[in-house]
A and B are shown apart, each in its own frame.
Chain A
Amino acid sequence: NAGVTQTPKFRVLKTGQSMTLLCAQDMNHEYMYWYRQDPGMGLRLIHYSVGEGTTAKGEVPDGYNVSRLKKQNFLLGLESAAPSQTSVYFCASKGLAGPTEQFFGPGTRLTVL
């Protein structure tokens, strides 16, 4: 099993450009999450999904959109990138049953110039 994978690993954008980050998991997990990690801020939840076709806003959703068309994939979109979105983005997934832990991907380092 590959677990949770993220594409791409690195990306540099110019202000105003758009891009999509892809998260894929092969564990048949119901729940998926997108976080951003900034120095001294810990991880902050951007959006999450509790199942195929459903999404919900997290702590810092502004400037991002998400889609969960397939159970195994969770896409994070930036329609018009801003320098404030320079960060490391992590995807995570979790199974449905019980208080199980979240499994994290390796991260995408995004720089917006």
Chain B
Amino acid sequence: AQSVAQPEDQVNVAEGNPLTVKCTYSVSGNPYLFWYVQYPNRGLQFLLKYITGDNLVKGSYGFEAEFNKSQTSFHLKKPSALVSDSALYFCAVRDRGRGSTLGRLYFGRGTQLTVWP
């Protein structure tokens, strides 16, 4: 069964410092991995995804994520945090199976990122 763990409910970081939001996953076979961001009272917005190839994926707003197959992790990173990055971040995984379950995502519980000035 597919599952995603985000071990930290909250991450606090000072503006200008690097940030990391952690994600580990469990899936049979090779996964597709996604990061989404949710601002208050809004829907989820896509940030980036890992499909195949380079383990370092670059996405929107200066975010990047590193896929580590041996550690089954897909941590979200940004070299220099902004106050405007404060939001709820979700990691999601899906398998590569075909058929009617194609496209189904499994989400982590979310990590609240707070960047203070």
> Chain B contact residues: over half helix, strand or loop, or mixed?
loop
Contact between chains at A104 and B45 (CB < 8 Å)? yes
Q: State how many angstroms separate the Cβ of A104 from the closest Cβ of chain B.
A: 4
Query: Given A50-B100, A50-B102, A56-B100 in contact, is the A42-B108 Cβ separation under 8 Å?
Result: yes
Indicate whether B117 reaches chain A with its CB closer than 8 angstroms: no
Contact between chains at B104 and A90 (CB < 8 Å)? no
Residues 60-117 (chain B) with a chain A CB within 8 angstroms? 90, 94, 96, 100, 102-105, 107-110
Contact between chains at A41 and B109 (CB < 8 Å)? yes
Indicate whether A53 reaches chain B with its CB closer than 8 angstroms: no
Contact between chains at A43 and B46 (CB < 8 Å)? no
Indicate whether B44 reaches chain A with its CB closer than 8 angstroms: yes
Contact between chains at A42 and B90 (CB < 8 Å)? yes
Q: Considering only CB atoms, which chain A residue lies closest to B47 in the complex?
A: A101
Contact between chains at B43 and A104 (CB < 8 Å)? yes
Q: Considering only CB atoms, which chain B residue lies closest to A106 in the complex?
A: B43
| Binary CB contact string for chain A from 69 to 113 against chain B (1 if under 8 A, 0 otherwise) | 000000000000000000000101010000101111111000000
Contact between chains at B32 and A99 (CB < 8 Å)? yes
Contacts of A106 in B (CB 8 A): 42-43
**Other-chain residue from B32, B42, B102, B107 in contact with A43 (beta carbon distance below 8 A):** B107
Indicate whether B8 reaches chain A with its CB closer than 8 angstroms: no
Interface pairs (9), CB distance under 8 Å? A42-B108, A43-B90, A45-B104, A90-B43, A94-B103, A101-B34, A101-B46, A103-B46, A105-B43
Interface residues of chain B, those whose CB is within 8 Å of chain A, are: 9, 32, 34, 36, 41-46, 49, 51, 90, 94, 96, 100, 102-105, 107-110
Sample of 16 further A-B pairs with CB below 8 A, known A33-B104, A102-B103, A104-B44: A4-B43, A42-B90, A42-B108, A50-B100, A50-B102, A54-B100, A90-B43, A99-B51, A99-B94, A102-B46, A104-B43, A104-B45, A105-B43, A106-B42, A106-B43, A107-B43
